Chain A
Amino acid sequence: MRFIKEDYRTQFFNKFISNEQLKGLVSGFSAILGDPTWWALKKPTVPKDGRPVKQGKKCSSPSSKPLIENTKCLKCILLAVKRARAKRDTVMYKCGYGHDGVVMPLIQGDKILGYISLCNIQNKALSTLMPPLKSSIGAVMDDVKKELELSKLYDTIRPRAIALSTIHTVHRVLSSTLNLDELLPKVARLCLQVLRAKRCHIMLFDDTKKYLASKAFIDIDDDKAGLKAKVKIGRGVEGRAAEKGEASLKPSYICVPLIDEDVMGVISASQKINKEPFSAFDLEILTTLAEQTVTAIKNAQLYEEQERIIIGSVKSLSMMLDAKIPNTYVHCPAFPNITIALGKEMGMARKALNSLYCAALLHDAGKLGMPEEVLRKKTRLSDKEYTLIRKHPIETAKILKPMDALTPAIPIILHHHERYDGKGYPSGLKGDEIPIGARIMAVVTAFDAMVCKRPYRHCATVSEATSEIKMNSGAQFDPNVVKAFLRIEERGEIKKLLKEGERR
């Protein structure tokens, strides 16, 4: 980093004297010119620590010493350098020991960036050798110039490319987050990271549109920092930014409105970690982040709305089925919620839980195509009727197949009558071959069949049904699912959900 702060002349001179091509040139021309001593000077003044680029063996001057101590040489060289600067061209001279020498200015455009001096040249055909020497030095200068240009370009472009890559990565992370509850804290964390700030606060308009409600607040010095109080529109920095739709940049505070068609909220950051003030660049970055946040919020809101529409449609369909023959196509009201509780206990993700919920509501829809007298029959089914009933998972899958949104629910529906030991139907799948959602539904379906009221059979207690499930662990049911079921039952969640279902 120190290198960048130095001026171009110093950068050029340092690169020039350490250039590999120059070293080769010095060595090659030294052989032709009778081993002179090569000096490099940045300015036509006494150098502080000037040492020869290459010490000629035949030179009688004590040139192993710094140039400043070589007063005899120094005087001649500096005089020649001054002449070369005035002439802006190569000059020849006789040194204090009577040897031939030459000083060549390193000219780039209208600037002289340094001087090369050769002392004690033995070859008398010096004038003939000057053009190739000048041309070779010129080639080294071009090489150094290009190297410096590339280095400058690299130093300029690289941080911008890294910043651009950061913006792109943040965009990717945000656009892949479709859960609003997860999205805003994530935006706040990324904002702190990108701005290197200590605190970030995201506020959105509440339903009244008169207040900004705190939605995410992250403080790196306080892990437990909770959400903040509401802010009235027009009050405080956030309130004013939201009212006017304008950003605010202060040394220790920065606030940008979140604007879709109208202002929907604000994002603010305070106090840089390095205690420096926020800059216009920070404002630019936060504005970009705010734009990405708005898009991500809209995406998450649309996704949640779509989910609500799907679940609503599935619920309506399930209610229609239940209205036809109650307790036949759908189970007791608590059934979907017990299934979800068990899914959560098994650690299923939100998306998988939604599919499980839809499957729980519609898993028996295929019975719609079965004769009503079979479905309503209170006595034992004949073999023929039983074979017909066993087809309902396949029929349900057929009915739901055209609904793309329910595709992930179909394997759960299709296999919810499989048994863990492989003796179930329709495919005779065994163990982990059965989708996890189907293994969960198998337990809850059996529980529901035992505890929920049916006009034609005895209703078991929760404890009796739980014991039955426990007894069939490993045979009919997945032991892990049974363990999870027992855990939620022990916590009293099953009874609570059953009571809630009865109240509906």
Chain B
Amino acid sequence: MNLNKILNSSLKLKIMKFFNENRSSVDTPRGISTWIDADMSKVAAALNQLADDGVVIYHGHGSTKAYSYIHDVKKVKKMAEYLESKCGLD
């Protein structure tokens, strides 16, 4: 999991920071764009790529698109460390 390559934009960093802080969240691109205060269409595209890269899970059905954080403990730990090094603690 090459996080430098996967999290190649500030938007993707913001999205993953959101999921890292809210690990139980399952939300739509619209919901996530509200929480991180970003453009919905850009968030939707970024989420799609993050799901392809295996760092978020896609739960959609039909027109409902929903995403959540991954479960893998090792990946979550690696992501948390990466985000802390990039974004720092709140």
Contact = CB atoms under 8 A, between A and B. Distances in A.
Given A169-B66, A176-B61, A192 B71 contact: yes
A172 interface: yes
Q: Do most interface residues of chain A lie in helix, strand or loop, or is the interface mixed?
A: helix
B60 interface: yes
Contact of A173 (B31, B35, B60): B60
A279 B35 CA distance: 25
Interface string A184-222: 001001101111101000000000000000000000100
B55 to A, nearest CB: 14
B24 A163 contact: yes
Contacts of A165: 25, 27, 31, 35
Contact of B90 (A1, A173, A189, A193): A1
Interface in B21-51: 22-28, 31, 35
Interface string A285-305: 000000000000000000000
A70 interface: no
Interface string B41-83: 0000000000000000101111110101101110010000000
B1 interface: no
Contacts of B23: 196
A472 B1 CA distance: 51
Contact of A162 (B35, B60, B73, B90): B35
B73 A273 contact: yes
Interface of B: 22-28, 31, 35, 57, 59-64, 66, 68-69, 71-73, 76, 89-90
Interface of A: 1-3, 158-159, 162-163, 165-166, 169-170, 172-173, 176-177, 182, 186, 189-190, 192-196, 198, 220, 273
25 contacts: A1-B89, A2-B89, A158-B35, A162-B22, A163-B25, A165-B35, A166-B24, A166-B26, A166-B27, A169-B27, A169-B31, A170-B26, A170-B66, A172-B66, A173-B26, A173-B64, A186-B61, A190-B26, A190-B68, A193-B26, A193-B57, A193-B59, A198-B71, A273-B71, A273-B76
